[in-house]
Chain A
Amino acid sequence: MRIVAIAAAVPQGRLVNGEFGLSDEDRRKYEENTGILARHVVKDAPLTTLDLCEAAARSALNAAGWGAQDVDGVILVTQTPEYLLPASACILQKRLMLGKTVVAFDVNLGCSGYTYGLILAQSLLQCGVVHRCLLAVGDVMSRHIDQVGDRFLFGDAGAATLLDNEGPTQVRATCWGTDGTGAPYLIIPAGGQRSRVGLTCRDPSPPPCLRMDGAQVFVFALQRAVPAVKQLLKETGWTPEDVTAVVFHQASRFILDNVARRCKIAMERVPLSLDHFGNTSSASIPLTMVVRMADQLRTSRSRLLLVGFGVGWSWSGVAIETQGVSVAPLVELSGTPTQGLGHG
């Protein structure tokens, strides 16, 4: 598998910490801990995750010089889909006017979703089911946040990565894992069959909101992200100094500082986008690659460790050696390009 192109899209709306009404001392404390100064959020714009993913996909296709008919696989990773059903990937097939023989499906994962998506795409490409794959990832979490502390953390974003099977594989190692005992600690406990708030036709309830236990998330990160990095280094035979960058899911600065310390990875090798974009769920790894590593990825051979971890608990990692990736400029969306089902 080869990474051909990568693109990301965020809403134009921006939210800075001064807008939360906290005291200066509390604000400084949060900023020091999270490393987040601002984030892009949809605010009142009628934008959805699918809109952001579509914009990123168009940008990536343009950067790669691929036509719509070139894509024969679509993996869309999101926890904030367009509808309960149908799958957003099906609507994306229509919006992008991809061929009707395309394989298209959604994957319900968050922070680990990008690297899971890469592993899935690799499997589809390797077995010949798919030859050119669009991996779209993203979430609009800001509509599911009601606690000030969590509003500091999350931004909205979508990203698209184009993958094919030309030449030798760039993937050097993969790892993954799941521990459902973590489900209560990072959850929107409604909207599905178990708790149907917001699901019935006459229910006037606002959208269900995220519940997060930050301490449990931190302990999970130490227990799972650290071994994931060590496993990837062991399987590749790379030392921390051999690695161009370790692109972590952008959980929070505090978590990444401690995970990197435990992995003996210098923070100079850990690019961060959370300062201006916050924690953007499954989009955070590709968004970081677009806004912090574009020149490196375009011009140089890069040894990357990509590591996602979070909601589930779920974690996954990919060691990949890229070269000549087409990186599209960041897209900022002000409105919705195609509303609803995109008729017409």
Chain B
Amino acid sequence: MAVSKQEFCRALARALNEKPRDITEDVALTDVTGWDSVGQLSVIACIDELFGKTVNVDKLRSCETIGDIIALFIEDIQ
């Protein structure tokens, strides 16, 4: 099931326990309080649930912004 970029950002915000307005493409992950080891697990679960895909952990960890995470799954996003 394809989701919109906005829906994906909202799902990431829930996973990272952040406000939706604080999770946009240009936000640096170093500025996201919830982007710690537990937050990364939640993001992996979120992506698994949304797209039925397991994440490449090394690629996820190489992301610097929310936009980089979106780019990993761009083919699944409307």
Binding site for B on A (CB under 8 A): 29-30, 33, 149, 213-216, 218-219, 222-223, 254, 258, 261-262
Given A215-B44, A262-B48, answer yes or no on A29-B38 (Cβ-Cβ < 8 Å): yes
| Segment from B2-10, B19-27, B49-57, B69-77 that makes contact with A | B49-57
Q: Which of B40, B48, B49 is the one whose CB lies under 8 Å from A215?
A: B40
Enumerate chain B residues within 8 angstroms of A222, measured Cβ to Cβ. Answer: 44, 48, 54
From B60, which residue of chain A is reached at the shortest CB distance?
A215
Given A222-B48, A254-B41, A262-B48, answer yes or no on A215-B54 (Cβ-Cβ < 8 Å): no
Inter-subunit contact A218/B41 (CB<8 Å): yes
CA distance A69 to B54 in the complex (A): 50
Q: Which of A149, A223, A258, A262 is the one whose CB lies under 8 Å from B37?
A: A149
Rank and list the top 3 A-B pairs by shortest CB-CB distance, nearest first.
A215-B57, A222-B54, A219-B54
CA distance A216 to B57 in the complex (A): 6
| B24 to A: closest C-beta gap in Å | 24
Inter-subunit contact B54/A214 (CB<8 Å): no
Enumerate chain B residues within 8 angstroms of A214, measured Cβ to Cβ. Answer: 37, 41
Enumerate chain A residues within 8 angstroms of B49, measured Cβ to Cβ. Answer: 261
6 CB-based A-B contacts, threshold 8 Å: A215-B41, A215-B57, A215-B61, A219-B57, A222-B54, A261-B49
Q: Number of B interface residues, CB 8 Å? A: 13
CA distance A254 to B38 in the complex (A): 10
CA distance A149 to B40 in the complex (A): 15
| A341 to B: closest C-beta gap in Å | 42
Q: Which of A213, A223, A258 is the one whose CB lies under 8 Å from B45?
A: A258
Enumerate chain A residues within 8 angstroms of B61, measured Cβ to Cβ. Answer: 215
| A309 to B: closest C-beta gap in Å | 14
Enumerate chain B residues within 8 angstroms of A29, measured Cβ to Cβ. Answer: 38
Given A254-B45, A258-B45, answer yes or no on A33-B54 (Cβ-Cβ < 8 Å): no
CA distance A123 to B40 in the complex (A): 41
Q: Which of A30, A149, A213, A254 is the one whose CB lies under 8 Å from B57?
A: A213
Enumerate chain A residues within 8 angstroms of B44, measured Cβ to Cβ. Answer: 215, 218-219, 222
Enumerate chain A residues within 8 angstroms of B54, measured Cβ to Cβ. Answer: 219, 222-223
| A-B contact sample (10 more), CB < 8 A, given A214-B37, A219-B44, A219-B55 | A30-B38, A213-B57, A215-B57, A215-B60, A218-B45, A222-B44, A222-B54, A254-B41, A258-B45, A262-B48
| A223 to B: closest C-beta gap in Å | 5
Enumerate chain A residues within 8 angstroms of B60, measured Cβ to Cβ. Answer: 215
Enumerate chain A residues within 8 angstroms of B48, measured Cβ to Cβ. Answer: 222, 258, 262
| B30 to A: closest C-beta gap in Å | 17
| A197 to B: closest C-beta gap in Å | 26
From A221, which residue of chain B is reached at the shortest CB distance?
B54
CA distance A213 to B54 in the complex (A): 16
CA distance A262 to B45 in the complex (A): 10
| B16 to A: closest C-beta gap in Å | 12
CA distance A149 to B54 in the complex (A): 24
Enumerate chain B residues within 8 angstroms of A258, measured Cβ to Cβ. Answer: 45, 48
CA distance A213 to B48 in the complex (A): 18
Enumerate chain B residues within 8 angstroms of A149, measured Cβ to Cβ. Answer: 37
| B18 to A: closest C-beta gap in Å | 14
